[in-house]
Amino acid sequence: MKEDFDAVLPLDLMVSPSLNPNSTPDYDFSTYPQFSPPCQVTYTPTPPGGHLVLCYNSRNDALYAEPLLCAKIGLHCYNLENGTNFERSCSDVCEVAEHTGVLTLRARDLARGCFCKFETKVWYSTENKDCFHVITSRCRTLAPPLPEEEEKEESGFDTLSVDELFKGNMPDWLPGDSKLHYYEMKESEVEQAKKWLHLYAELAWYTKMQRDPLMFEYAKPFELRKIIVQTKEVVDSMKNVKLDNGVFYISFRTRCGVVCKGVIRRTRDGRPEHLSLEAKCFM
């Protein structure tokens, strides 16, 4: 037996049949929250040959992950050459010259209590296709120039000057080569070098997260677990770890709990301001 059901509305929601369908009832919206229109967003393109000013802070680091990483690599190159410990100053802006790739930033050395303005240039190499390869060709302080001071010349990285044992394809993980020596860094040594070791782990992680900068940034800080250095000479102390050529095998855990193995090969060609870093990451 078929049954019909009529929908029943509360009395206060019923509309009188005598109401003109073309008229609008008077409703009081004064008690409803008021919404403001969204802010107008404008974009001004960088003029040809000009500089793009990037304001770095903790909220937009992920948006500029690549230039930030390059800035830290350039500072690392300078620190290796000069025995300093400069770090990027998060309170200042950085400038990226789009037409040259030169990045200008302010950095500080807390141990010396000084601030300096730096100019760095880090670019991608296409020689080794089996890994992520970046080369620093400029890392210098920007002191006020003298009238007669000339611009320092910048030259390409001389791969022919690199030791033969550190050329070719990157190793995957601790190859058994009798010509090379291995040294496991002590916990106290890792603590002393944690700034640039974290940078190496960051570079390895970036090889997996280039297309996901938000996850790249969210996964930090890393927990360094085990670091083994592969060298040509016998290494028995932290003092000798700061060498020109070496391969760093870094086991680390991300903030998300992902355990990774990073392989970073560091080589130099003997020229000032030059540094080559090749990186792989296995998860």
What DSSP string runs through 90-122?
TTS-EEEETTT--EEEEEEETTTTEEEEEEEEE
Q: What is the pLDDT of residue 180?
A: 62
Q: What is the pLDDT of residue 151?
A: 54
Is the overall model pTM greater than 0.85, yes or no? no
Judge whether residue 39 has pLDDT over 60: no
Average pLDDT over residues 51-63: 54
Which is higher by pLDDT, 62 or 205?
205
- Choice among 39-53, 117-131, 196-210 with the minimum mean pLDDT: 39-53
Residue spans of the domains in the chain: they are 51-144+158-282
- What's the longest Cα–Cα distance across the chain? 106
* Separation of CA 245 from chain center: 23
- Choice among 116-130, 151-165, 182-196, 237-251 with the minimum mean pLDDT: 151-165
Which is higher by pLDDT, 109 or 31?
109
Judge whether residue 29 has pLDDT over 80: no
**In whole angstroms, what is the distance from residue 283 CA to residue 281 CA?**
7
Average pLDDT over residues 133-151: 70
pLDDT-derived band at 44, boundaries 50, 70, 90? very low
Judge whether residue 28 has pLDDT over 60: no
**In whole angstroms, what is the distance from residue 75 CA to residue 136 CA?**
10
Q: What is the pLDDT of residue 7?
A: 44
Which is higher by pLDDT, 150 or 273?
273
Average pLDDT over residues 265-275: 85
What DSSP string runs through 37-58?
PPPPP---PPPTT-EEEE---T
116, 88 Cβ separation under 8 angstroms:
no
Q: What is the pLDDT of residues 205-246, one digit of tens each?
A: 999 998 888 888 888 889 999 999 888 777 676 665 557 888
Q: What is the pLDDT of residue 64?
A: 79
Judge whether residue 162 has pLDDT over 80: no
102, 119 Cβ separation under 8 angstroms:
yes
Average pLDDT over residues 17-44: 44
Percentage with pLDDT > 90 across the chain: 19
